Amino acid sequence: MISTSQFKIGMAIKVEGTIYIILDFQHVKPGKGQAFVRTRLKNLKTGGVIDRNFRAGEEIEQAILDLREMEFLYSEDDNYYFMDTQTFEQIVLDKEKVGEVKKFLKENLVVGITIHEGKPVSVEPPIFVELKVVQTEPGVRGDTASGGGKPATLETGLVIQVPLFVKVGDIVKVDTRTCEYVTRV
């Protein structure tokens, strides 16, 4: 158990049985009434963000999380198979636990898997992934890098906007936080 005075950004806490990451907090001392701590919390399972107030000095359970590097092996039906890069232990996650990360997963990609009390809670992709373009419209003569964009389907099924000069077979770097094209590799 920790006090609200020990809050830090990035700390994991357990509130009503759900694990949250503290995104931001502020100690507030109003003119009347008791001081409190205003927080923004990210639900580790759903990714949703909520605002929540705690009384100053209130005791909250701290969640101990373990982040492990795991390599994505393959998917079958709605199951995703990962292997710990240190122990070579394999785990299977369903599509709900993998969530939106599945649109970046390709074989041998190393991701971070957050573990709480021995159970996987969430999957964190690397910030940038390199994916192959499998379908896009051909560019027209005179297309430039500063011109418009066009949709491109990547090997994982993800569709993003790319510059007009990108063609089928190119490998592009994608930012996993924004799902946007970064550069051609």
Top pLDDT among 138 and 144 is at 138
Read off the pTM.
Answer: 0.67
2-62 is a CATH 2.30.30.30 domain: yes
CA distance 27 to 55: 10
Give the model's pLDDT for residue 140: 63
Q: Output Rg (C-alpha) for the chain, integer angstroms.
A: 21
Number of C-beta neighbours around residue 6 at 10 A: 11
- Position 151 pLDDT exceeds 80: yes
User: Which one has a higher pLDDT value, 170 or 47?
Assistant: 170
Phi, psi torsion values for 97, nearest 5 degrees: -70, -35
* pLDDT tens digits, 53-110: 888 888 888 888 888 888 888 888 888 888 888 888 888 888 777 777 888 888 888 8
Tokens representing residue 153 in the block = 């389907």
Percent of the chain clearing pLDDT 70 (strictly above): 95
Q: Is 99 helix (H, G, I), strand (E, B) or coil?
A: helix
* CATH fold match for the domains 65-124 and 129-184: yes
The domain covering 65-124 belongs, at the CATH homologous superfamily level, to: Nucleic acid-binding proteins (2.40.50.140)
Fold of 129-184: OB fold (Dihydrolipoamide Acetyltransferase, E2P) (2.40.50)
3-state helix, strand, coil in the chain (%, to 5): 5, 55, 40
Q: Residue 156: is its pLDDT beyond 70?
A: yes
CA 52/CA 58 separation, integer angstroms:
13
